[in-house]
Amino acid sequence: MNKKNGKYLTTGEFAKLCKVNKQTLFYYDQIGLLSPVLKNEKGYRYYSIRQIELYFVIDLLKDLGMSLNDIQQYMQNKSPESFLSLMYQKKVEIVKKRQEIEMKEKIIEAKIALMEEASHLNFHQVILEQLPEATLYLSRNIENITDEEFVEVVSDFINELNVSQLDTGYPIGVITKREQVLKEEFTNYSYLYIEQPNPKEGYPYFKSVKGDFLSGYHIGDEKTIHKTYKRLFSEMDRLNLALGDYVFEEYIYDTIVMNHKEHYVTKIMIQVDQIES
């Protein structure tokens, strides 16, 4: 073996080309994952330039979450067929991870947009606005259920958002039907919901009614929300409006951005109809 002919690399040279420390190469040699092609009588180790690609593949598999033990198992049973199968498997995993990252990016973009919009809102203002039709993904019905059942419904709803990738970054809201509101049962909600700007096929959705809504903001927790509803009902009377079929509530500021419940902000959107004179 003639080191000077340029066919072999010292451990330091090989480590530098691979951008790794020598201790990693010593460990790989120790466990039989990647060993020098030559070791002389003085204990010097030499690698072939052909082993660089092998190191890069090991490093790639590590980055993709494959354990050193699993990589060793592959290395002990190498073949073109097993390598191709492994690459196809890793490609599928990468595609899935990319989809998950893209979904998380959309969630973050939605939260940024909502928070920036919230920073310009006047929480003491009550407005009559026309809201467009929106597609909502609903939980199962939660009217008149116990606290234990409510926790179960919330858990199932959150789980479905994650499993089916239906989390859009929009706040989870609640729908209350007209009959509950008339009885002043403001927290006897009918459904949880999350808006779906780009609905996926194959899921049951609720189309919120396009139309007029009287919207205002409640500051504080749900224990005092009846006071805000009273203020909104007074404004409805002043504007000669009648209560529609549904009321929607969404957190604007909640535990994510506020430490104390008295600083929470909930947007209340009451579907309304004009009362004919």
Instruction: Convert the pLDDT of each residue in 201-224 to its tens digit.
Output: 888 888 876 899 999 999 999 899
What pLDDT, on a 0 to 100 scale, did the predictor assign at position 277? 63
Cα 10 to its chain centre, rounded Å, is: 47
* Low-confidence residues of the chain: pLDDT under 50: 1-4
What pLDDT, on a 0 to 100 scale, did the predictor assign at position 4? 46
Could you tell me the pTM of the whole model?
0.74
Which two structure tokens, joined as six digits, stand for 23?
């201790």
Strand ranges inside 132-228, DSSP E: 135-138, 173-177, 191-195, 205-207, 211-219
Query: Is the separation of the CB atoms in 265 and 218 below 8 Å?
Result: yes
Cα 160 to its chain centre, rounded Å, is: 12
Which two structure tokens, joined as six digits, stand for 224?
């005092």
Query: Is the separation of the CB atoms in 253 and 263 below 8 Å?
Result: yes
What pLDDT, on a 0 to 100 scale, did the predictor assign at position 6? 54
pLDDT digits (tens, 9 = 90+) for 14-46: 999 999 999 999 999 999 999 999 988 888 899
Long-range contact list for 95-102, CB < 8 A, 24+ apart? 99/165, 100/165
Q: Residue 31 carries which side chain, given as an amino acid letter?
A: I
